[in-house]
Structure 1
Amino acid sequence: MKKKLLSVMLASVLTLSMAGCQSSAVNGVSEDQNTTNATDTSAGGSGETTSNASADLNIMLETPVESLDPQQATDGTSFEVIADFTDGLMQMDADGQAVNAIAQSVDISEDGLTYTFHLREDANWSNGEPVTAADFVFAWQRAVDPEIASEYSYMLSDIGQIVNAQDIIDGSKDKSELGVTAVDDKTLEVKLNVPVSYFLSLMYFPTFYPVNEAFYESCADTFATSPETTLSNGAFVLDDYQPAATTIHLTKNPDYYGADSVQLAGLNYQVIQDSQQALMSYQSGDLDTTLVNGEQVDQVKDDPAFQAIGAGYLWYISPNIQEVKELQNVNIRYAFTMALNREAITTDVLKDGSAPTYTAVPMDFAAGPDGSDFSADQEKFSDVCRFDADAALEYWNKGLEELGVSEITITMIHDADDAPIKVAQVVKEQLETTLPGLTVELQQMPKKERVQRMQDGDFELGLTRWGPDYADPMTYLGMWVTNNSNNYGFWSNSEYDAIIAECTTGETAMDAEARWAALYDAEKIVMDEAVIFPLYTQCNAELISTSVSGIEFHPVALNRVYKNATKN
């Protein structure tokens, strides 16, 4: 069977711009990066500093890094830093297209089931050893190894459809049987169960990044917890980091195969969770980029340095349907979602261009076979998800009657960051004002603790978000499959599971139009049962110094990429 050489990804999806944001988006194609924004950050303003072209870029982080292990990391902040010093087989260009990185070329069989990656000869680890196909085999086997228990193992099974991945995750096959083979040092062969049109775009997701086995074994349990236990094959080298650190520093990697195009001397991250402190640091020149929130936007929105950039995250409230009796009542859930004034949250609280959202899959994110946006119609579920105080009260009273109670007290957990704190306070006010007899108690905590509690089912309501890993509705809809680790409410529906399975491995997976229609059906089940209460699709309001240009912004997988940035 003759194979064809592709230098760009195969994708059935198109890219749309982030309509809810003030900055324009650049069209790109990618399963999980459909709405890619590439912004030339030539902005003016109070953060302007004078520096040499090869200076460090000073970057504000809103939350700490949770893990720098590519197969264990689960949050966007960690993914960003990992991608600073690690390249995968593919990377994103400024438009979000999948382009070659460690892979110099890829052959795809005519049936779409075999991918053969040819690795570049000049890719090396920072200890001088070459990057080999075996590094990818080892890393991917780690990702599906039940002993590692990677939360993103489903990227290889449900999403990537790599042969034997699911059986290995379930424990019925050994990890050595994963459908990935090092043909030789520079040739990696991957076998799939079914064709996956967006497979190449998965390759820039950190779970698929390589790990040098000998180095990993030498680190024992300390792997990726310090500069000494971290290897680089990317644009920068980690030289200052410890878990839960408030500062992280990376230096340009002189041995990087693309070093000639890297203009920054390094990256200097500062974790600042107080928005006022962050703004002051930017204004004093200690930061080159910073997020601004709420009332700060009113102060700086006319500054040329201000930009609202699509971040791709869907913020929503997850009810614990399995454990909380009151939330098992669908009328109570309808009352909650109808009582939420999303427009007030985005316009009066966030003020950053974020868009009210009434669907389980956000708008301007994934386009179907005909080019239409999957969630362009934000009123398609208005019978069960809209702001309607009268309808909310009607559902509330009906639910209370069915439960045989007149009052409900419920606790909502949320992150201890600026925006989630403000949003949670407004949600509490809206719910309590509209629904008499309801008391919402708020508990704020570090993100890591909040995520752990939601995964453990130790919560009642949780304010959370999901950032897309690839530009297809499945990146959201796959979360609600029974026993998925991100199905925080432990909801289960056999009809839903069957639709998702059919769209993943069944005949429907081979028919783009039929698959799209089936995914609509799946989303309808999620919304009709009020599995989540969608709130808004996030934009980031940022100030970026006039001395900085070339930062690439992507609302999918990797939100910010710095290897082509400059600072003058």
Structure 2
Amino acid sequence: MKNTKWLLLMALTLVLSIFLAACGGTDDKKEDTTKDDGKDENATETPAKEDGEPDAEQILNLAESAAIPSVDSAIVEDAVGFNVLNNVNEGLYRLDQENKAIPAMASEEATESEDGLTYTFKLRDAKWSDGTPVTAEDFVFAWQRAIDPATGSPYGPFMMSGTVKNATAISEGKMDKKELGIVAKDEKTLEVTLERPVPYFLSLMSFGTFYPQKEAFVTEKGDAYATNSDNLLYNGPFTLTDWDGTGGSWVYKKNDEYWDAENVKLTQINVNVVQDSATAVKLYKDGKLDRAGVSGDLAMQYSTDEEAVLQPETSVFYMKFNQEKGGKETPLANENIRKAIAKSFQKEDLADVVLANGSLPANFLVPKDFAYDEDGKDFRELSGDHLEYNAEEAKDLWAAGLKELGVDSLELEILGGDTDLSKKMDEYFKSQLETNLEGLTIKLKEVPFAVRLELDGNQDYDIQISGWGPDFQDPISFLDLFVTDGTNNLMSYSNPEYDKLIADSKGDLALKPAERYEAFAKAEKILLDEDAAIAPIYQRGLIFLEKPYFKGLVSHPFGADYSFKWAYISGKE
């Protein structure tokens, strides 16, 4: 989400200062299937045996990082909204406990045409919370509404344009929304036509923007739709109650109309907004929360606590090197200068001592434990490490760069956040770079997140601490950021060979998975080893305090942060 972790991922400023969604599970992962006893063949069962059977009262008390802005699937663009949506509604597919996209509202795996352009989905017998059936027309209506310019959806055009047939023209007002490539063949059959083969298309089907909406209900509610919990319909594991549209608390209750309700163990989840980590920890210690996020200085303090849970994430942070400012080349247009800086700071110490929250040093852009080839091999194994710390090599590159520029010293500015931890990290970079690169002076510009976004948009910076989190499971979610003139490039980086590899991955290689991944690996090598367009820093981790009786919470590496569907309480005294 462009305004949260999801898309233009809050960079360092917000990430390190805000107590993120105090519910998560192991940042993403876990499930089983059964085919007997009259159960749906795609029904799932909580893996309770090894952790104890659900017992006691199945009520949780959790915290969120902010109030809910919206639960309208066409309008949602923030982490909290997508988290809520993921637990009270459901699309054609859902991420399971192993973060694999599996049929949800779809009753079976989709049928794909040989050319990869048409998908046919058969819907299961599922109901809305008012007892009416979920139909193929509900998906048609919701997708058309999300792409309609009149709706003003932030994610509809972003997710569908260039993917679903005619979406781009419709979003630009050049074609009627009814021409979108989605058709209800009958009440339980949905056909989707794409602009091009999209290897990760079924992964997209678990994303909130693609959820169904009941046209009659939305029309009846008009402007009041999705303004509070009474003006919403639900087809997911839980319903939303006690949300007035503005308040700092809400309640999830088990949805008895949900198709897989027998495997939903929790009966109620009470959620309160808690923005301050210290407050969350106190509530946790007082027994008023079952899970609490810790950040900043508290992360190190509680990292060894017996109830601490390290939660790895798929958000990667890096330095952006701006090569042009005010129409003129900057010193960072010099390849050797960029490489020198990228290799001159110790990432392990930063992750272990400064961050101390389970974050991993990153010698890559595409994160670990995120994208896998057809054989299940992590993309990181294929692509390897890039731009590793090497102070001696950095010194040689720096000297060569200065010589090429005809100078013996440089002054550069790092644009970062204004939180205490952000400032500590920036000071760390300043110390490392000035120590290892003779003649370099680093100035620090520490500003609020909104200001940083403005400076980024105007390309008014030298070096910027930035980051990205994926919305779908594919390396291109990261690599597409740095194509020439890309909307998120904003640093005047350009490499025709890189651009071609990314374009090929969407074209000729779209249906050739092995060759496509090889292209991605080549692209990452060009971006990092050859050009040092950016300097990777770390893959984010988070620390939570979690009661030992809180079991089965599943966290996700893309899309919504977490699912409560398989969570339960066991062993609570």
| TM-score between both structures, scaled by the size of structure 1 | 0.79
Measured in 2, the distance between the counterparts of 1:496 and 1:311 equals: 26
Letter in 2 for 1:545: K
Per-residue deviation, 1:400: 5.4
Per-residue deviation, 1:261: 2.9
Measured in 1, the distance between the counterparts of 2:143 and 2:247 equals: 28
Counterpart for residue 55 of structure 1 = 59
Counterpart for residue 357 of structure 1 = 362
Against the structure 1 CA distance between its residues 213 and 318, is the aligned structure 2 distance closer, same or farther, given a 3 Å change threshold? farther
Which of 548, 564, 567 in structure 1 is aligned with 2:566? Answer: 564
Letter in 2 for 1:349: V
Letter in 2 for 1:523: E
Between the two proteins, what is the percent identity of the paired residues? 34
Measured in 2, the distance between the counterparts of 1:432 and 1:300 equals: 32
Which of 155, 158, 182 in structure 1 is aligned with 2:159? Answer: 155
Which of 132, 135, 140 in structure 1 is aligned with 2:138? Answer: 135
Measured in 1, the distance between the counterparts of 2:177 and 2:407 equals: 52
Which of 253, 262, 265 in structure 1 is aligned with 2:267? Answer: 265
Counterpart for residue 210 of structure 1 = 212
Counterpart for residue 180 of structure 1 = 182
Counterpart for residue 108 of structure 1 = 111
Letter in 2 for 1:352: N
Per-residue deviation, 1:182: 1.7
SS of the equivalent of 2:287 reads: coil
Per-residue deviation, 1:459: 5.4
Measured in 1, the distance between the counterparts of 2:71 and 2:207 equals: 13
Measured in 2, the distance between the counterparts of 1:209 and 1:486 equals: 27
Against the structure 1 CA distance between its residues 196 and 109, is the aligned structure 2 distance closer, same or farther, given a 3 Å change threshold? same
Which of 545, 548, 553 in structure 2 is aligned with 1:546? Answer: 548
SS of the equivalent of 2:368 reads: coil
Contact 1:39–1:553 (Cα < 8 Å) also in 2? no
Per-residue deviation, 1:452: 6.5
Contact 2:344–2:390 (Cα < 8 Å) also in 1? yes
Against the structure 1 CA distance between its residues 269 and 121, is the aligned structure 2 distance closer, same or farther, given a 3 Å change threshold? same
Against the structure 1 CA distance between its residues 219 and 415, is the aligned structure 2 distance closer, same or farther, given a 3 Å change threshold? farther
Which of 163, 166, 187 in structure 2 is aligned with 1:164? Answer: 166
Contact 1:240–1:248 (Cα < 8 Å) also in 2? yes
The equivalences for 1:353-502 within 5 A come to 353-376=358-381, 380-381=385-386, 385-396=387-398, 399=401, 402=405, 406-414=409-417, 416=419, 420=422, 422-435=424-437, 436-446=439-449, 450=452, 454=456, 457=459, 460-489=462-491, 491-502=493-504
Per-residue deviation, 1:224: 4.1
Q: Which moved more, 1:557-566 or 1:450-459?
A: 450-459
Check if 1:505 corresponds to 2:510: no
Contact 1:102–1:123 (Cα < 8 Å) also in 2? no
Measured in 1, the distance between the counterparts of 2:484 and 2:144 equals: 24
Measured in 1, the distance between the counterparts of 2:27 and 2:60 equals: 27
Letter in 2 for 1:374: F
Contact 1:292–1:541 (Cα < 8 Å) also in 2? yes
SS of the equivalent of 1:564 reads: coil
Contact 1:432–1:440 (Cα < 8 Å) also in 2? no
**Deviating 4+ runs (over 6 angstroms):** 22-29, 38-44
Against the structure 1 CA distance between its residues 314 and 270, is the aligned structure 2 distance closer, same or farther, given a 3 Å change threshold? farther
SS of the equivalent of 1:557 reads: coil
Measured in 2, the distance between the counterparts of 1:377 and 1:197 equals: 18
Measured in 1, the distance between the counterparts of 2:108 and 2:458 equals: 42
Contact 2:291–2:547 (Cα < 8 Å) also in 1? yes
Measured in 2, the distance between the counterparts of 1:442 and 1:407 equals: 16
Measured in 2, the distance between the counterparts of 1:425 and 1:222 equals: 49
Against the structure 1 CA distance between its residues 231 and 479, is the aligned structure 2 distance closer, same or farther, given a 3 Å change threshold? farther
Per-residue deviation, 1:514: 1.7
Against the structure 1 CA distance between its residues 155 and 321, is the aligned structure 2 distance closer, same or farther, given a 3 Å change threshold? farther
Per-residue deviation, 1:252: 3.1
Per-residue deviation, 1:172: 4.7
Q: Which moved more, 1:398-407 or 1:532-541?
A: 398-407
Measured in 2, the distance between the counterparts of 1:78 and 1:449 equals: 24
Measured in 1, the distance between the counterparts of 2:304 and 2:47 equals: 18
Counterpart for residue 519 of structure 2 = 518
SS of the equivalent of 1:117 reads: strand
Report Cα offsets for 1:457-516 as digits up to 9, x if no partner.
56554433322333321221122234544434364444333222211122x222222212
Per-residue deviation, 1:253: 3.0
Against the structure 1 CA distance between its residues 146 and 270, is the aligned structure 2 distance closer, same or farther, given a 3 Å change threshold? same
Per-residue deviation, 1:343: 0.7
Contact 2:165–2:180 (Cα < 8 Å) also in 1? yes
Contact 2:87–2:238 (Cα < 8 Å) also in 1? yes
Measured in 2, the distance between the counterparts of 1:263 and 1:403 equals: 68
SS of the equivalent of 1:105 reads: coil
Measured in 1, the distance between the counterparts of 2:85 and 2:189 equals: 24
Counterpart for residue 346 of structure 2 = 341
Which of 223, 232, 235 in structure 2 is aligned with 1:233? Answer: 235
Gaps spanning 5+ residues in structure 1: where? 1-21, 30-37, 45-50
Q: Which moved more, 1:96-105 or 1:460-469?
A: 460-469
Measured in 2, the distance between the counterparts of 1:387 and 1:475 equals: 26
Report Cα offsets for 1:513-538 as digits up to 9, x if no partner.
22122112222232133332211122
Letter in 2 for 1:520: A
Measured in 1, the distance between the counterparts of 2:465 and 2:400 equals: 25
Q: What is the aligned-residue RMSD (CA, Å)?
A: 3.8
Against the structure 1 CA distance between its residues 359 and 175, is the aligned structure 2 distance closer, same or farther, given a 3 Å change threshold? same
Measured in 2, the distance between the counterparts of 1:524 and 1:265 equals: 49
Contact 2:102–2:109 (Cα < 8 Å) also in 1? no
| TM-score between both structures, scaled by the size of structure 2 | 0.78
Against the structure 1 CA distance between its residues 178 and 251, is the aligned structure 2 distance closer, same or farther, given a 3 Å change threshold? same
Letter in 1 for 2:103: N
Contact 2:313–2:540 (Cα < 8 Å) also in 1? yes
Q: Which moved more, 1:455-464 or 1:52-61?
A: 455-464
SS of the equivalent of 1:555 reads: coil
Contact 1:318–1:463 (Cα < 8 Å) also in 2? yes
